Every structure is written in structure tokens, then in C-alpha cells.
Amino acid sequence: MKEFENIKKDFPIFTREVNSKKLTYLDSGATAQKPQSVIDAMNDVYTNKNANVHRGTYVLSAETTKLYEDVRIKCKNFLNAYHSDEIIFTKGATEGFNFLANSIAKKYLKPGDEILLTEIEHHANIIPWQMVAKQYQLEIKYIAIDEDFSVDMEDLKRKISNKTKIVSITGESNLSGLLPNIKLIRELVKETCDAIFILDGAQLVPHRKVDVQDLGIDFIVFSGHKLLGPTGIGVVWGKLDLLNELEPVSGGGDMIEEVYFDRATWAPVPHKFEAGTPPYVEAIGLGAAIDYLENITMEKVSNHSDQLRKYGQEIFSDIDKVNVIHTNEEFAGCTFSMHVDNIHATDVSLMLDTYGVAVRAGHHCVQPFHRKLGIDATFRATAYIYNDKDDLDVFKDALVSSIEMLG
């Protein structure tokens, strides 16, 4: 696509070399690189407008507050949410899940209630639920994954019940690239119970157009840094009626309405969930990232991902000694996790770095999924809008050479 031919020029990091080689960055599943427009937007605040938001009657504060609050509107439109007040800013997806788990459990859950996850969830969508399960005597059940890494719908039907109060699943696997059929899963859940449905959008939102109204979900959580934005900013979207019912889990300035020595009352949604000085510069950077993606259009972003994914399937399928973990579903993310016979993933990753190729090695915060597969680690190549077929070719050639040297 024409939009992607010269896109690397928008990202200053691609002007550098690594180990005397052109940088081939294939670790966007961990964090995306930043376009100059995002860097400029944040620098502009610090250089020309910086002031704390919501608290000043002077020009700088008013300007920064407007920029900050405008990002809620951008996020609302980006997700096709109902109201901008449904957008809660967090430090990232992990904080978002901790907020939801603690606030929902305190408000709605009782001993014996069940939480339903899948076997491919990121630790951020497991550990907060484990913590509240222990505190409130809840039970967690995990939907099994088929041999082709897809969600086992029959197992879902077996495990869903009127005891199920929370269903929280990933929108895109960060290991296999699987895109679960969220609408179908949501319908199956609704046939049995009225569970709160939460979507982990950390990998999904950067690559696909997400319409929360069309999906019929109750909450979605995602991070800014995987979306071309900065670290330190994330988003929780939730239906306004549910948010109005939930209690804050963090207290302090800016989230209150009135404070007395013996009690306090909360500000309206969304501010009651945003205690203290918010990451307003990071939020403004996220807004610039959304602008960048919207200018391309998410349809073209997802088409580009699909084209790279299909090319990757072709060229990675016949590399000697390499085992590829990737779903066979028709649509999936451009995520290829691999392990090599008798060579540790970290050694492969270190060798690839000598060729200027950046991939991630480890369990990628999906350790239970790795255990299910009977392996302790993989190395993972994840592509984004600034990658092209040449990057995948460089990766393959470097991988073949690395295996020859290590084997």
C-alpha cells in the first residue's frame, strides 16, 4: 500500500543502526516505536504549555486541560464509545485490569462466584483476578485452547454457568496472533448468564478497528505505548451505568467532590477514578498517536497487518529446526512465536541482534500458555505499520544464519 511505502521516515529511530546493521524492529508486541508527531506533541506541552490540569485559572493550565480532555473525545470516537466520560485514563493496561478486578469484586462479587478466562491470557489479565479470588473466595476457570490455538467453544459451553459473573478474555493473543471471535463468545455467554464481559485490547486495538458498541462488551482495556503512543498511559473504557456503580480504588486529589475529617464524596465519572495528577502529557501523546493512525485509517492498518501476516506464514513455514506457534484461523495478528530444537530462545534472540534484528525472547507474560505447550520460552517477531516484507526477509535470513552458527 502506498501509505506504508515510506512510512519509516516518520519514525526517527529508524535512522540509526544496530551492530553496524540497519535496524529491523520486530518487537512491537512489547512496545511500538513512536512517530515524530507524537514526540513533537509531547515536547510542545513541556516547551510551551506545561501546567497541571483541572486546577489552574490561568492560560497555561486552561490550554493543557483542554488538550488533555480532548483526548477523551478522541478515544471515545476511536472506540465508538457512547460518551467521552466513559474513558478512564490509567498508567497502562496492567493498572486498568487491577482497577477493574478490585472495584468490580468489591461491588458485585461474593464467595463462590466464578471468573472465566482463557488459557492464552496475559499475566495482566490473570494475576489481578487471582488476587481478588483469594480475597473474596472466588473461583477462576480457564477456557481451553484447541491444538490450532483457537478457543475451544465446546469447553466454553461446559464451563459457563449462572455462577459466572466475570468473563475477561484477550482480543488478540500476544503469542499465537489468535483473534478470538468476541461477538460469538459474547452471545454464548449471554445465553447462559449476565456476566460482565471485559476485553483485553492491548494487542488488538493497535491493529484493528474496535467498535465497543458493535462488540456488545462492557469494558475494554488497552495501553498507549503499543499504539504508537508513550509509556505511562492506558485506557479503560466501560459502560457509563457500570462505571457509576463502581467505587474508586485509589484516593487523593482531583477525584473528590467534598472532603471532611471523617468522610469524603467522589467527583463524577471519569474523574473519581483518576486520583492525583494524571499523566496528562502522556495522554496528549496518546491523542497524537490516535490522530496518526486515524489519518492512515484503521482499515488500512489491519489490511497491512494481514498482508504481512500471510507473507510471514509463507516464508517461515519451512525453516529447518524452527517450530512456529501461530494460529491457523483465517484472520489473525502478525505475531509469530518460535522455538528452535535444542537451542534456547534467548540465544537465538541474542544472535539475531548481531544482525540488527530486534525480537523478544522469554515467556512474553503468558507463562501458563507456554506450560500448556510444554516449552519454557519462545522468541517472538511482531510486525506493525512501519514493517514491510523486506523486514521479514531480513529476519528469516538472520534466523537461518543464527541457527547455523548456534547449532
CB environment 24-46: b (16+ within 10 A), e (fewer): bbbbbbbbbbbbeebeebbeebe
Catalytic residue among 75, 193, 334, 365: 365
Question: CB–CB of 27/172 below 8 Å?
Answer: no
Mapping DSSP to helix (H, G, I), strand (E, B) and coil, where does residue 302 land?
helix
CA 332 to chain centre: 15
Question: CB–CB of 396/315 below 8 Å?
Answer: yes
- Alpha helices for 317-388 (secondary structure H): 345-353, 367-373
Can you tell me the distance from the alpha carbon of 119 to that of 150, in angstroms, rounded to the nearest whole number? 10
All 3 cell numbers of residue 76?
471515545
Can you tell me the distance from the alpha carbon of 221 to that of 369, in angstroms, rounded to the nearest whole number? 21
CA–CA distances in Å: residue 137 to residues 115, 129, 318, 368: 11, 11, 48, 22
CA–CA distances in Å: residue 212 to residues 50, 74, 338: 33, 14, 32
Question: CB–CB of 145/372 below 8 Å?
Answer: yes
- Choose among 260, 207, 235: nearest CA to 387: 207
- Choose among 84, 124, 66: nearest CA to 237: 84
Mapping DSSP to helix (H, G, I), strand (E, B) and coil, where does residue 62 land?
helix
Residue-level length of the chain: 407
Name 260's Cβ contacts closer than 8 Å, sequence gap at least 6.
none
Mapping DSSP to helix (H, G, I), strand (E, B) and coil, where does residue 103 land?
helix
User: Is 365 part of the annotated catalytic residue set?
Assistant: yes
Name 108's Cβ contacts closer than 8 Å, sequence gap at least 6.
165, 196
User: Where are the strands (E) in 246-374, listed by range?
Assistant: 256-259, 264-266, 322-325, 335-340, 357-358, 360-362
Catalytic residues: 365
